[in-house]
Chain A
C-alpha cells in the first residue's frame, strides 16, 4: 500500500516519526516535494479563501499526492502537550480537505493526541492495522519511530555572525523556504545568524510562560511567547523577527503579548501571504538589519 505524506504544516517537526512508522510497517511512501509554485497555485485553487497561507499550501501538497497513493496522511493534530491545544484549523483539516479537493483517496484522519506514549499508541495501533495484521510489527514500528523522532534535532542555533536574530513563528513558516522566501539565507547573506525556539530548553520556556496572567491555550502561543521572552531576558540576540501568516488568529494575540513583554527591544513582524514578489520582504529585512547594525556602532 502506498502512503502519501504531504510536506506541509507540522511535517517539518514530526516527519521522522511518520516516515519511520510507515516505512517500518513495510508500506511504500510518497512524500510531496518542497513547496513550489505549482503546489502553491494548486493549494490556492482548492482551498477555501479565508484560510491562512500554510493551510492553503498544505492543500497544494495534498493535491499533488492524491493520484499518486492509495491512502494519504492528513494528521489531525489535537494536542502535543497536555492541557494545551493546536490551532483549530488542525482539528478540522481532514474535513476541509475532503470538502475542497475532489476525488480524494482514502484518508488517515484519526485524531492525534501526542502528549504521551500511552495516549499516542492507540493512533498507531489503529492506523497500523490498515497496513498490516501483525500486531508486533506495529508495536515495533511505533517504538522505532519514536526513537527516530527523539533523536531528531530541528532548528537553527547560529551565533557565529556579527549579529544574531531570533526567528519566531509557527514551524511551518520558518522551515518552509518557499513560503518565507529563504529568510534564513537572506539574513546570513546580510551577516546575521539565526536562532529558533528549538534551541531553548523546554523548562526555560515554561519559566517564561509562567509570567503570563493565564496559561496559554495554544502550544504555538506557548512556544513563541516563551522563546521570545527567554532570548530577550537573557539578551541572547540583537533582535527578534516574527514570521506570521496573514490573518492568523493565534499570531494576532501572541505578537501583542511579545511586544508588551519586550518593550523597546528591536522587533519586526513579517506578514507572509500568497505574493511572490520579494521586494517588500527584502526592504523590511534589510532595514531591520541596518537598524541593528547601527545600534552596535
Chain B
C-alpha cells in the first residue's frame, strides 16, 4: 500500500511516495519553471517507470498550484501548505514546537503546541528573502545555488546588508561588491539580513521555542541555517526530507481522506502520456471579467479555474476546496 503526495510550489514541484508506515520510499524534486502541469507529468513519468504496478491507496495535493494538480491527478485531499507542513513535521517528531518554512515564493512560521497548530504567519505581499530571491542572487554572483551556503560559512564576518526589501537588498549588495568586499562576506551578510527580516516580519511577536524544524527548499542553505542559529541562540533541525515536507504532509492527509471515504480518486500514472493544454480567456459574463483557465486533457475539458462566480469551475465536477 502506497500513498502519493504532490506539492506544486512556485519554484519546485515535489512528489513523494510513502509506504504504509509513512516512510518515504521515493522523492522527486522538479523545478516548476512556470509550467505546473508539465512538472507534474514529468514526475509521473519517473514514477510510472518504477512503480507502475504498485497500488496507490490515497493521494493528496498541496502548494499554491494544488487545485490544478488535484484536478490533474485526482487527489483525495487538497490542503493548504501550512496544514501539510505541520502534519509532516508532527509525523516525524511529536515534540516540534516551531516550524520555519521558507519556499520559493512564501515564507511561513508555524507555531505548534501540544501537537496542534496554535498560530501561524506568512509573509505579506512581498516575497523578499524567499528562495526565488536567493536563486536570483546566486545567479547574479555566478555561484551555483547549492554552494551558496558554503560560501557564507567560509566568512567570519558578515557585511551589513539591508534586508527589508529584496530590491534594496540587491542594490546594497551591489554597492558593497563594488567597494571590494569579498563574495563570502557579502553572502554571509545577506543570510543574516534575510534571517533578521524573517524574524522581524514573519516571526514578529511569535514565541519561537525549540524544537525548531527548518523546512522548505531554502533549508538546504547552510548559511541561512547558521544565521538562524546565531540569531536564536539554539540549534535548529533540518529534517532529512526538508525539501519535500509539504508533499509528505499531503500524502498523509490523502491517506486519511481516502480511508474515510473508503476509496481513492487517483487517476493513475498514465497521465504522464496524456496531452494537456491550458487555455486562458477573459470571461465576458459580467463586469468582473475573470481570467479563467481551462484545462484540457486529450481534447476533453477536465476543469476550469479562476472564476469568481463558479460558472466555469462548477462545470466539470472537480474537487476544489473541500
Residues on A close to B: CB < 8 A?
A: 33-34, 36-39, 178, 181-182, 186, 189-190, 246, 259, 264, 266, 271, 273, 275-276, 279-280, 282-284, 286-288, 290-291, 294-295
Contacts and interface: CB of A to CB of B under 8 A. Distances in A.
Interface string B62-91: 001100000000000001111100000000
Interface in B239-260: none
B230 interface: no
B285 to A, nearest CB: 12
A259 B118 CA distance: 15
A37 B288 contact: yes
Contacts of B118: 264, 291, 295
A291 B122 contact: no
A295 B119 CA distance: 11
B200 to A, nearest CB: 14
Nearest to B287: A36
A127 B101 CA distance: 57
B124 interface: yes
B246 to A, nearest CB: 11
A287 B82 contact: yes
Contacts of A295: 116, 118
A38 B284 CA distance: 12
A283 B289 contact: no
A288 B121 CA distance: 10
B25 interface: no
A25 to B, nearest CB: 29
B124 A271 contact: yes
B320 to A, nearest CB: 9
Interface in B97-147: 106, 116-120, 122, 124-125
Contacts of A37: 287-290
A287 B321 contact: no
B308 interface: yes
Contacts of B289: 36-38
A282 B227 CA distance: 31
Mostly, the A contact residues are helix
A149 to B, nearest CB: 28
Given A38-B287, A189-B321, A276-B291, A290 B82 contact: yes
B180 interface: no
A246 B65 CA distance: 24
B120 A282 contact: no
Mostly, the B contact residues are loop
Contact of B321 (A190, A266, A276): A190
A266 B119 contact: yes
B288 A178 contact: yes
A4 B318 CA distance: 43
B120 A291 contact: yes
Contacts of B288: 36-37, 178
Given A36-B289, A38-B287, A271-B125, A283 B119 contact: no
Contacts of A286: 79-80, 83, 321
A264 B205 CA distance: 10
A280 B64 contact: yes
A281 B308 CA distance: 14
A246 to B, nearest CB: 6
Contacts of B122: 280, 283-284
Nearest to B289: A37
A14 B288 CA distance: 24
B125 A246 contact: yes
B80 A291 contact: no
Contacts of A291: 82-83, 116-120
B67 to A, nearest CB: 8
Given A38-B287, A190-B321, A279-B64, A287 B119 contact: no
Given A189-B321, A280-B64, A290 B287 contact: no
B274 to A, nearest CB: 24
A282 B116 contact: no
Interface string B40-82: 0000000000000000000000001100000000000001111
10 contacts: A36-B288, A264-B119, A271-B124, A275-B125, A279-B65, A280-B125, A286-B80, A286-B321, A290-B80, A291-B118
Contacts of B64: 279-280, 283
A282 B124 contact: no
Contact of A259 (B205, B291, B321): B205
B123 to A, nearest CB: 9
A264 B124 CA distance: 20
